[in-house]
C-alpha cells in the first residue's frame, strides 16, 4: 500500500503542474468575471431599455397623449425637435440610444377618418452581441404593442364613447400555465423558456473544454513517458503493472475531482449572472413558480450534475490514457485525440438541436452509448425531474470507465505496450 501511495503521489506531482493550477484558477476567474459582467451589463441594459427617442411631427392632442402614456408606462421618453429621422439617428446626443419612434404628421386626422396610422419604429444597432439583439427585439415588440394598444383605445372611445375601451380591446384575461416533469405552475411561457435556455445551453460549452483539458493532460503525461523512455524503466521494475495503471488513474481521478469541483463552482458563479438576466422582469411569484418547476436548479441538482460531470471526466481520462499509449510522441497527441474529439462533438452538439427521445432508435442508441451524452444532458434531465435517468447515466459512465481501465491494465500487463503504434500515424 505504501508503494501504491508513493506512485499516486508521483503521478499527482506530474499531473498537477503549475500550468494546470493556472488553468483551473483561470477557469474559475473567467466564470466569475463573466457572471459579474453579464449581471452588471444586464442592469445597465435594463436602464437603457426604457429609453425611446420620439420625433413628434403630428403635434396633435393624440400624439401628446401617446407620449404621456409612454412616460406613464415607465418609458424614458426623449423628445427631439429634429425634423428628419436620418439626422436624429446620427445625432451625437443619441449615439447610445437604440429605439427611435417617428410620429408622422396627420396621424390623428387619419385615425379620425378611419385610416390606419403609420408610426415608424427604428432600431439602431451598435453591436451584435446576444444580449444586445435580444434586448432590442424584446424592446421593439413591447413598444409596438404598447403604442398599438393606446391607439386602439383612442379609436374605440372616438367611435363609441360609452363603450369600455379596455374591455372591448382585451376581453380575454389569459392565464398561462407551464408543466415540467409532472409539476404544474402558473407562469408565462416566455419566462419559463428564458430560464431553460439560460441554463441548458451554457453547461455543455464549459464542460466540453474541461473534458478536453483533462484528456490532453493525461495523454501528454503518458506520451511524454513513452517518448522519454521513462515508461520502459517503470515497466522493467518489479512493481505490479496493475498498480501502475491504478495509480496513474487514481491520480487522474483526483485531478478530475478538482476539475469537476472547479467546474461546478465556476458554473454557479456564472449562472448567477445569467439566470438574473433570464428572470429579468419576472415578479417574485414568477420566480418562485420557476423554482417549484425545477427550472432554477437547486444545490442538490448541482450535486447530481457534478457527479455526472465527474464520471464523464473519468471516462474521458480512461479513454485518453489508452490513446496516450497509442501516441508515439507528445506532438502526435493532436492526431491521436481525434476519436475522443469526435465522440465529444456528437454528444455535445446533437442534444442541443434534437429531442433524443423523439429521435430514431439508431440515433438514440448511438447517443446513449457515448458516455459523455449523459453528462451533457444532465442539466435538462434535472430540470425535468428525471433524476433517475441521471443516476442511471452515472452508473453507465462508471461501467464504461471500468471497461477502459481493464483494457488499460491488459495493455500494461504485456509487451504490446512498447510496440503499439497509432493507427493515425502517417506511413
Q: Is residue 209 part of a domain?
A: yes
Give DSSP secondary structure letters for 203-240.
HHHHHHHHHHHHHHHHHHHHHHHHHTTHHHHHHHSSS-
Give the whole-angstrom CA distance, residue 269 versus residue 168.
47
- CA neighbor of 371 nearest in space, from 317, 299, 418, 301: 317
Kindly state the average pLDDT of the residues 72-88: 87
Q: Are residues 72 and 162 in the same domain?
A: yes
Give the whole-angstrom CA distance, residue 43 versus residue 181.
32
Q: Is residue 235 part of a domain?
A: yes
Residue 190 predicted with pLDDT over 80: no
Give the whole-angstrom CA distance, residue 21 versus residue 17.
6
SS3 115: coil
Q: Is residue 424 part of a domain?
A: no
Report which listed range, 27-41, 86-100, 161-175, 234-248, is most confident.
86-100
User: Between 128 and 263, where is the model more confident?
Assistant: 263
Residue 82, φ and ψ in degrees, nearest 5: -65, 125
Band the pLDDT of 427: cuts 50, 70, 90: very low
pTM score, whole prediction: 0.63
Q: Is residue 59 part of a domain?
A: yes
Q: Are residues 198 and 285 in the same domain?
A: yes
Domain final position from 146, 173, 200:
173
Give the whole-angstrom CA distance, residue 41 versus residue 11.
43
Report which listed range, 18-27, 156-165, 175-184, 306-315, is most confident.
306-315
Q: Are residues 229 and 348 in the same domain?
A: yes
Q: Are residues 133 and 235 in the same domain?
A: no
Band the pLDDT of 35: cuts 50, 70, 90: low
Residue 275, φ and ψ in degrees, nearest 5: -65, -30
Which residue range(s) make up the domain with 153?
49-173
Dump pLDDT digits (tens) for 265-287: 666 666 555 555 544 444 556 77
What does the pLDDT read at residue 272? 58
**Span of 67-71, 90-94, 139-143, 316-320 with lowest mean pLDDT:** 139-143
Q: What is the CATH number of the domain that holds 76?
A: 3.40.1710.10
Q: Are residues 27 and 111 in the same domain?
A: no
Q: Is residue 354 part of a domain?
A: yes
Q: Are residues 116 and 232 in the same domain?
A: no
What does the pLDDT read at residue 274? 54
Domain final position from 173, 206, 231:
173
Do residues 263 and 207 make contact, with C-beta atoms less than 8 angstroms apart?
yes
Kindly state the average pLDDT of the residues 35-61: 71
Q: Is residue 427 part of a domain?
A: no
Q: Are residues 203 and 91 in the same domain?
A: no
Count up the domains in the chain and report the number.
Answer: 2
Q: Are residues 119 and 246 in the same domain?
A: no
Whole-Å CA distances, 6 to 60, 228, 239, 323: 87, 21, 12, 25
SS (H, E, C) 9-37: HHHHHHHCCHHHHHHHHHHHHHHHHHHHH
Dump pLDDT digits (tens) for 147-185: 888 888 888 888 777 777 666 666 666 677 787 767 778
Q: Are residues 109 and 215 in the same domain?
A: no
Report which listed range, 69-73, 203-207, 368-372, is most confident.
368-372
Dump pLDDT digits (tens) for 104-122: 998 889 888 888 878 898 9
Residue 85 predicted with pLDDT over 70: yes
As given in the structure block, the three cell numbers for residue 274 are: 445569467
What does the pLDDT read at residue 124? 81
What does the pLDDT read at residue 426? 47
Domain final position from 150, 173, 196:
173
Q: Are residues 87 and 169 in the same domain?
A: yes
Q: Are residues 124 and 80 in the same domain?
A: yes
Q: Is residue 196 part of a domain?
A: yes
- Residue 80: in which H helix or E strand, if any? strand 76-80
Kindly state the average pLDDT of the residues 294-317: 85
What does the pLDDT read at residue 411? 75
Dump pLDDT digits (tens) for 367-424: 999 999 999 889 888 888 888 999 999 999 999 998 988 887 777 665 555 555 555 4
What does the pLDDT read at residue 280? 47
What does the pLDDT read at residue 281? 47
Whole-Å CA distances, 25 to 105, 215, 379: 60, 18, 24
Residue 214 predicted with pLDDT over 90: no
What does the pLDDT read at residue 264? 62
| % pLDDT > 70, the chain | 70
| % pLDDT > 90, the chain | 7
Residue 94 predicted with pLDDT over 70: yes
Do residues 99 and 143 make contact, with C-beta atoms less than 8 angstroms apart?
yes
Kindly state the average pLDDT of the residues 10-21: 66
What does the pLDDT read at residue 310? 84
User: Between 211 and 42, where is the model more confident?
Assistant: 211
Give the whole-angstrom CA distance, residue 138 versus residue 126.
16
Q: Is residue 30 part of a domain?
A: yes
Q: Are residues 263 and 390 in the same domain?
A: yes
Amino acid at each position: 500500500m505504501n508503494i501504491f501511495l508513493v506512485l499516486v503521489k508521483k503521478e499527482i506531482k506530474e499531473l498537477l503542474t503549475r500550468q494546470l493550477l493556472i488553468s483551473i484558477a483561470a477557469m474559475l476567474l473567467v466564470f466569475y468575471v463573466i457572471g459579474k459582467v453579464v449581471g452588471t451589463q444586464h442592469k445597465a441594459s435594463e436602464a437603457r431599455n426604457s429609453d425611446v427617442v420620439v420625433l413628434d411631427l403630428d403635434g396633435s392632442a393624440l400624439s401628446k397623449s401617446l407620449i404621456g402614456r409612454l412616460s406613464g408606462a415607465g418609458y424614458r421618453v426623449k423628445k427631439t425637435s429634429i425634423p428628419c429621422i436620418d439626422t436624429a439617428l446620427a445625432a451625437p446626443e443619441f449615439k447610445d440610444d437604440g429605439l427611435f419612434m417617428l410620429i408622422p404628421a396627420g396621424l390623428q386626422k387619419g385615425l379620425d377618418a378611419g385610416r390606419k396610422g403609420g408610426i415608424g419604429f427604428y432600431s439602431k444597432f451598435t453591436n451584435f452581441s446576444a444580449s444586445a439583439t435580444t434586448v432590442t427585439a424584446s424592446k421593439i415588440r413591447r413598444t409596438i404593442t404598447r403604442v398599438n394598444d393606446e391607439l386602439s383605445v383612442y379609436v374605440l372611445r372616438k367611435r363609441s364613447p360609452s363603450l369600455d375601451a379596455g374591455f372591448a380591446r382585451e376581453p380575454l384575461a389569459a392565464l398561462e400555465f407551464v408543466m415540467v416533469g409532472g409539476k404544474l405552475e402558473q407562469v408565462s411561457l416566455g419566462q419559463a423558456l428564458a430560464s431553460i435556455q439560460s441554463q441548458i445551453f451554457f453547461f455543455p460549452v464549459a464542460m466540453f473544454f474541461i473534458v478536453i483539458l483533462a484528456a490532453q493532460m493525461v495523454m501528454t503525461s503518458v506520451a511524454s513517458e513513452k517518448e522519454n523512455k521513462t515508461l520502459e524503466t517503470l515497466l522493467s521494475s518489479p512493481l505490479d503493472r496493475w498498480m501502475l495503471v491504478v495509480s496513474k488513474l487514481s491520480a487522474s481521478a483526483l485531478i478530475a475531482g478538482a476539475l469537476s469541483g472547479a467546474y461546478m463552482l465556476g458554473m454557479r458563479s456564472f449562472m448567477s449572472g445569467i439566470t438574473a438576466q433570464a428572470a429579468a422582469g419576472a415578479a417574485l411569484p414568477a420566480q418562485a413558480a420557476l423554482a417549484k418547476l425545477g427550472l432554477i436548479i437547486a444545490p442538490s441538482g448541482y450535486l447530481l450534475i457534478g457527479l455526472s460531470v465527474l464520471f464523464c471526466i473519468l471516462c474521458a481520462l480512461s479513454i485518453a490514457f489508452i490513446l496516450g499509449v497509442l501516441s508515439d510522441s507528445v506532438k502526435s497527441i493532436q492526431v491521436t485525440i481525434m476519436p475522443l474529439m469526435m465522440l465529444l462533438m456528437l454528444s455535445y452538439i446533437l442534444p442541443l438541436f434534437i429531442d433524443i427521445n423523439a429521435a430514431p432508435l439508431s440515433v438514440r442508441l448511438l447517443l446513449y452509448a457515448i458516455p459523455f451524452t449523459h453528462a451533457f444532458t444532465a442539466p435538462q434531465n434535472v430540470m425535468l425531474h428525471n433524476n433517475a435517468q441521471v443516476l442511471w447515466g452515472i452508473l453507465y459512465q462508471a461501467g464504461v470507465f471500468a471497461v477502459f481501465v481493464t483494457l488499460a491494465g491488459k495493455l500494461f500487463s504485456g509487451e504490446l505496450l512498447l510496440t503499439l503504434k497509432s493507427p493515425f500515424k502517417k506511413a
